[in-house]
Structure 1
Amino acid sequence: MKIATWNVNSLNVRMPHLKQWLVEAQPDVVGLQETKLDDPRFPDADIAALGYRSVFCGQKTYNGVALLSRVPAGECVVAIPGFEDEQKRVIAATIDGVRVVNLYVVNGKAVGDPKYDYKLRWLAAVRDWLAEEIRAHPELVVLGDFNIAPDDRDVHDPAAWHGKILCSTPERDALRALLDLGLHDSFRLHQQEAGHFSWWDYRLGGLRRNLGLRIDLVLVSEALRARCAAAGIDREPRTWERPSDHAPAWVTLAR
């Protein structure tokens, strides 16, 4: 069972890329972030023609999340229970027996900014919710654009990024609090080396010079750890014309 995450940075623009990647990569489940489409404009029929069912929650111009799957998704949730938030950043569903939670984590703008405080409150609410989800669904995958580089191996220049947004200690602590629920970074179950990234700035030759961050994660619960057969990042779509600034990250779970 191949499960992937991809911040497409506008599905309207990146739909040709998504179609090509679904055909080439053949994932079973894909979580999308930053679809930037309100629900009536979501290309459900086009995606169905490729063999995928869709559940989605979006808004015009920014945010928006979706789950695509080869089999129908059930028990769908489109917000953090008990957390009042107009931004469409969360969708969860049960797919082929696995609970999949797709998160588009708040960027935060800058350390100390009100949006940074919102990010930390949002992550605390996610933690409380996931604690309940993992009790109800031991086979749990939490994926998405986390907008946090877990540690210095995930940053092209740790000294330059030290203490800054996406790499600050409170953000990393908030991510660690999610992992402490019994979740594992699937990529790090297979690869310990530094220098592997999922996001590169469009500016300054970011991809060519590998000036990136690993902020797109697929976390697996302890109950799925033994089934985590492989994990990786697919850089290829980032090289295509008019790409998203993110590349897909994925995990394969043995049946």
Structure 2
Amino acid sequence: MLPKIVTYNVNGIKARLERLVEYLNEQKPDIVCLQELKSSDETLPLKEIEAAGYGGVWHGQKGFNGVAVLARGAQPIERQKGLAGDPEDEHSRYVECEIGDLIVASIYLPNGNPQPGPKFDFKLKWMERLADRARDLLAEERTVVLAGDYNVIPNDDDVFSVRAMAEDALMQPESRQRYRSLVAQGWTDALRTRFPAGGVWTFWDYQAGAWQRDAGFRIDHLLLSPIAADRMTGAGVDKDYRGREKASDHAPTWVTLR
């Protein structure tokens, strides 16, 4: 079996627990990076996740944010929680772990709306801090996967309608420029490599019948270090899970490595 590494913004782990456990049982991914847990560490449904066969490193936060890395039949080893560079940042948005020979980070990048404004400024600064950490990880010359909800639509063909999203923080030139400069360090955007023509969505809003109209966009990304990219055998989106009852507005997005 090829290792399957998944990024999945669950949009509230307690609200979506049934869907998450269903996904773990049906797909049996090897590593799952979760975002938007919206739960403090004290109230996480650990028993149910462990019963599905997964160990985890959790970085929760009451009510919003929150990230985790799960491993099937293993316990990830925590390397780092949070990013350096802003002592006042108390958001739970980054956790980095080691699983076997892999280094995996789960990332929940700030949304940045409304823009312009302080939330957008925070997003851009956070992206710069992420780039600093990513540079250090590349220097380790290991198999590294930076997986998560980046809240960036990198290209015009990554969205159902450029016009509809033109004013959104996810598509501003500054957001895109920082994403591109991150990738340009030497990372491979797994989904982009697999689908170079675009048109692949990972998120569909709950509003305005977006799912029914397939009016989505791509904001969940898996960035691979050069050694990880050499091992890549496939990438995709488990889109069907977005259509299930009480589903997250994101679909699980994955890469397989040999």
TM-score, normalised with respect to structure 1: 0.96
**Aligned residue identity for 1:80:** L
Q: SS state of the match for residue 205, structure 1?
A: helix
Q: Pick from 54, 75, 79: which aligns with 2:82?
A: 79
* 1:23 matched to 2:47: no
Q: Pick from 64, 67, 70: which aligns with 1:68?
A: 70
In the alignment of these two chains, the number of paired residues is 254
Q: SS state of the match for residue 206, structure 1?
A: helix
Q: SS state of the match for residue 169, structure 2?
A: coil
Structure 2 unaligned spans of 5+: none
**Aligned residue identity for 2:48:** D
Q: Distance in 1 between matches of 2:57 and 2:141?
A: 19
Q: Pick from 123, 127, 131: which aligns with 1:127?
A: 131
**Contact 1:163 1:169 (C-alpha < 8 Å) held by counterparts:** no
Residue aligning to 1:14: 16
**Contact 2:151 2:220 (C-alpha < 8 Å) held by counterparts:** yes
**Contact 2:113 2:168 (C-alpha < 8 Å) held by counterparts:** no
Report how far residue 139 of structure 1 moved: 1.2
Q: SS state of the match for residue 152, structure 2?
A: coil
1:194-233 Cα shifts (integer Å, max 9, x gaps): 3210111111110110111100111111111121100001
Q: Distance in 1 between matches of 2:76 and 2:101?
A: 10
Q: SS state of the match for residue 230, structure 1?
A: strand
**Aligned residue identity for 2:157:** R
Residue aligning to 1:52: 54
Correspondence list, 1:1-255, <5 A: 1-70=3-72, 71-84=74-87, 85-254=89-258
Runs (4+) of structure 1 exceeding 6 A deviation are none
1:72-100 Cα shifts (integer Å, max 9, x gaps): 21243111023321111010001121110
1:162-215 Cα shifts (integer Å, max 9, x gaps): 353201110001111210121111012211233210111111110110111100
Q: Distance in 1 between matches of 2:71 and 2:252?
A: 15
Q: Distance in 1 between matches of 2:78 and 2:67?
A: 16
Q: Distance in 2 between matches of 1:109 and 1:140?
A: 30
1:23-58 Cα shifts (integer Å, max 9, x gaps): 111100000000011001112222111111010011
Identity, in percent, stands at 37
Change (3 A) 1:118 1:252: same
Structure 1 unaligned spans of 5+: none
Q: Distance in 2 between matches of 1:163 and 1:138?
A: 38
Q: SS state of the match for residue 22, structure 1?
A: helix
**Contact 2:141 2:227 (C-alpha < 8 Å) held by counterparts:** no
| RMSD of aligned residue pairs (Cα, Å) | 1.2
Q: Distance in 1 between matches of 2:178 and 2:22?
A: 35
